Amino acid sequence: MTKRIVQIESVGQSFDTKKGPFVALRDVNLEIREGESISLIGHSGCGKSTLLNLIAGLTLPSSGVMLCDGREIAGPGPERAVVFQNHSLLPWLTCFDNVYLAVERVFSAREGKAKLRERTHEALELVGLTHAENKYPNEISGGMKQRVGIARALSMQPRILLMDEPFGALDALTRANLQDELMKILAATRATMVMVTHDVDEAVLLSDRVIMLTNGPSATIGEILEVNIERPRERLALAHDHHFGECRAAIMEFLYNKQLKRAA
């Protein structure tokens, strides 16, 4: 049995507003196994990013328990790397230096500069950007910027890769290429992934399980879908795969029948 790496037990999250407390999440229970890929999906305002931020330790829950590797999540940590929709690159640094910054922060206490540079080169090679190491963010495309963001996260050798709609701002072809690259990277690194997405096809393509959240406020986990499709997965082959179609239909049923009708 694969080891549990994240445990979320009876977690709730509320925020103080001028109109009083706003309950974003309630009674969330979830276990994430090491090496699996998870997608969080639901309508806008259902708390997907809030849940991801809780796993990242960027915010702390109002109630319940969050554990990573058996220890309470009390803040950010290098074992949990985050990739946002906005790549957040520093414009005055090259692609290499943007990644090196993360490597230096995590490993400089016990490794020399030569090893740090080697780690940086390896991370950029993993995402196919060796040729762009010395370019600045304003000299590369949106897809390449997002690759640098992914390389920066991977350079920390995290056990969990947390991704908040990382391909949401990209055109369809670039998005598809990066999804395919991500599947290869996850297979090579065996990292655990948790991704927020609005895209049903993306959720099925990339995930072992799809976590479907109910509408907010006071959102919680509505259903969990197991995606039993063998890896490696080929995009074109899946277009004709019966189970892929069933998974896609199940998510659509949840989002548009069960949730939209309930909201109406």
Measured distance CA(39)–CA(52) in Å, rounded: 10
Higher pLDDT pick, 130 / 170: 130
- Both tokens assigned to 205: 């393509």
What is the pLDDT at residue 169?
78
pLDDT of residue 260: 63
Confidence class for position 262, pLDDT limits 50, 70, 90 = low
Q: What is the C-alpha separation between 4 and 57, in angstroms, rounded?
A: 18
Q: Is residue 252 part of a domain?
A: yes
Give me the CATH number covering residue 252: 3.40.50.300
**Torsion from C-alpha of 69, 79, 105, 88, nearest 10 degrees:** -140
* Burial bucket for residue 92 (CB in 10 Å: 0-12, 13-18, 19+): exposed
| Average pLDDT value for residue range 242-252 | 95
117 within a domain of the structure (yes/no): no
The whole-number average pLDDT for the span 168-174 is 85
Assigned domain for 167 exists: no
Is residue 245 one of the residues assigned to a domain?
A: yes
Q: Which pLDDT does position 1 carry in this prediction?
A: 58
**Per-residue model confidence as pLDDT tens digits over 180-202:** 989 998 998 899 999 999 999 99
Question: Is residue 137 included in any domain, yes or no?
Answer: no
Average pLDDT, the chain: 92
Asked if residue 244 lies in contact with residue 229, where contact means CB atoms within 8 angstroms, the answer is: yes
Position 158 confidence tier, pLDDT thresholds 50, 70, 90 = very high
CA distance 120 to 133: 10
Amino acid at the residue 247: C
- Which residues constitute the domain of residue 57? 1-74+199-263
pLDDT in tens, 208-230: 999 999 998 999 999 999 999 99
How many other CB atoms sit within 10 Å of the CB of residue 259? 19
| Count: domains in the chain | 1
Judge contact between 56 and 158, C-beta under 8 A.
Answer: no
Burial of 16 (0-12, 13-18, 19+ CB in 10 A): exposed
Residue 91 lies in a domain: no
Q: Taking the mean position of all CA atoms in its chain, how far away is CA 147?
A: 14
Output the pTM of the full model: 0.92
DSSP 237-264: HHTT-HHHHHHHHHHHIIIIIIIHHHH-
Cβ(38)–Cβ(226) under 8 Å?
Answer: no
pLDDT value at residue 219: 95
Dist. CA 81–CA 133, nearest whole Å = 21
**Residue 101, number of CB atoms within 10 A of its CB:** 15
pLDDT higher than 80, residue 87: no
List the one residue out of 51, 11, 7, 55 whose CA is nearest residue 31. 7
